[in-house]
Amino acid sequence: MTHDHDLVLRPTQEQITAALNPPAGRNGGDLVVETLAGLGATTVFGLPGQHALGMFDALRRSDLRYVGLRVENNAGFAADAYGRITGEAAPLLLSTGPGALTSLAALQEAAAASAPVLAISSQIPTAGLGGGRHGYLHELPDQAASFRGVVKSVHTVRTQSQIPSAIEAAWKSALTAPHGPVWVEIPQDVLLAETSIPVVSGGDAFPEEVVPRPELTAVAAHLLSGAERPAIIAGGGVVRSDASGKLLRLAETLKAPVVTTPGGKGAFPWEHPLSLQSWIEDRHTTDFLEDADVLLVVGSGLGELSSNYHTFRPRGRVVQIEADLGKLESNHPALGIHADARLALQALLETVSERQDESAPERVREVLAKVAARIAGQELTLEQEVLASVRRALPADSPSFWDMTILAYWAWSAFDAKGPNRMHSAQGAGGLGYGFPAALGAAAADPTRPALAVSGDGGALYSIAELATARQYGLNVTWLIVDDGGYGILREYMNDAFGEATATELTRPDYVALAESFGVPGVRTTPETLEADLAKALSEPGPSVVVLPALLRMFAPTHLGTE
């Protein structure tokens, strides 16, 4: 019997001739860029360094587009966003030692948010590998060890013949659910040495599908079909697997209310009669979910934010669909189904019975009314108006990227993303500096739509250098900087906990003048003029900066037992 995987395509005579006579002047770096192109990559991000020059020299002999950022961590954020927007593995080219290590925070965010990033770093020469102290520039005893606890997989190359296979394996790993960052490292001498290896002519790295077990989806369908008060929590896995349409059909079949996590923004229509929107940090929503007799959790690990800071205590049966085994039943006992959200939701759609329940929309309206009343009682009109102005100014199909700032914390709960894969934030790992470089990556992925970045002044200072990147490549990004003179959310936390804040106040530049010094148009706005100024900036091609001096406050939390 012949199996499909036993079949090997025979090369044509033309391919044989080309393989026997590779062009001169190629090195190991050419094998890197040829493999990336063969796998379908079109754009790479990064920052050159001495050990990585072989890769960067090869770029000029390839058709790959290079977007160079000014800080490796920002290059990682840009690749992260490119991967989220396109669903493709985003190549990130880095140098050894400090260059590599500076990307760690971005790779942690990519890991937490399941963004497919293919990081390829140089290494010290092969003779220096093995942990000895040879005194090479950038030398580490075990560079890969710094990344093993962050990325999905690590691939170390020692010879040129290993380059195509290692990159293909890493590509497949990055795109197998759950998506995530991967790490490949190649010694300097391997990248620089001339090569006689044939030109890499293609790639075959199709990701493996994580298919649900049918006996488990059968039980889940039975539980959901017979539930009296089913409810659904939709996480980022629904967005990443492009399963929003299937989620909508399932919710309507079951008459099940749906709340989305911050990572799942846009997975369910905001104004749908069954939509609890994203108020997952609110105790009224938590109470509603706890009361469900069957709770379906799709593409979420029920982590800190999604469980209202671990105060969520479900009383009914929980069915959890999750592609990441590490998240499956990690916080709550459940009928755990290890699967890609799209495949599992399709299996449920083929099995569940339609429920009749006319009360679900009214119960949703009651919860949203309670949430609205709670917020209305806190005199937070400014914050709500600012967020509403941003929503009105931003085109419905434009993506937005939010740093760790008070307005972003509002957006997690109160911002209508207008569809899946349009709102992204750094809430996975929670590091500062994500918003602007991520928006640059999104603009590189899709130059037809303006991208919005939102930062506080503290987070903005992490990314100022990338104004040069935005200008150099003419990237279509508008950067909204909410300037409150410090780390605003930390100021609130410390004042609440200790009565006064320490180390939260910042001396900062004139952001408008600074933007203009880079050749980027800037404008200082007010809450009253924000909508018009932001809409104008977004409508004009190329980068722009809008600065809003404003002291915003957070709505009161509900997980501390003070209400």
Q: Are 144 and 154 in contact (CB under 8 A)?
A: yes
Residue given tokens 């108006």 in the structure block: 385
Q: Which pLDDT score, from 0 to 100, does residue 17 have?
A: 59
Burial class (CB in 10 A: 0-12, 13-18, 19+), 490: middle
Coarse DSSP helix, strand, coil percentages of the chain, rounded to the nearest 5 percent: 40, 15, 45
Pick from 376, 410, 388, 401: nearest CA to 554:
410
Dihedral (C-alpha) 76, 78, 84, 90: value to the nearest 10 degrees?
A: -60
Q: Which pLDDT score, from 0 to 100, does residue 16 have?
A: 66
Query: What single-letter amino acid sits at 91?
Result: P
Q: Are 79 and 45 in contact (CB under 8 A)?
A: yes
* Structure-block tokens of residue 80: 């992260």
Q: Are 182 and 152 in contact (CB under 8 A)?
A: yes
User: Peptide bond preceding 141: is omega within 30 degrees of 0, i.e. cis?
Assistant: no
Helix axes 435-445, 466-473, angle to 10 degrees: 20
Q: Which pLDDT score, from 0 to 100, does residue 30 have?
A: 97
Q: Which pLDDT score, from 0 to 100, does residue 18 have?
A: 60
Q: Which pLDDT score, from 0 to 100, does residue 199 have?
A: 92
Question: Which residues in the chain come in under a pLDDT of 50?
Answer: 1-5
Q: Which pLDDT score, from 0 to 100, does residue 202 have?
A: 77
Helix (H) or strand (E) holding 18: helix 13-20
How many residues in total does the chain contain?
Answer: 563
Query: What single-letter amino acid sits at 282?
Result: D
Bridge partners, 184 (sequence order): 120, 155
Q: Are 267 and 239 in contact (CB under 8 A)?
A: yes
What's the pTM value of the predicted model, to 2 decimals?
0.95
Residue given tokens 């369910």 in the structure block: 268
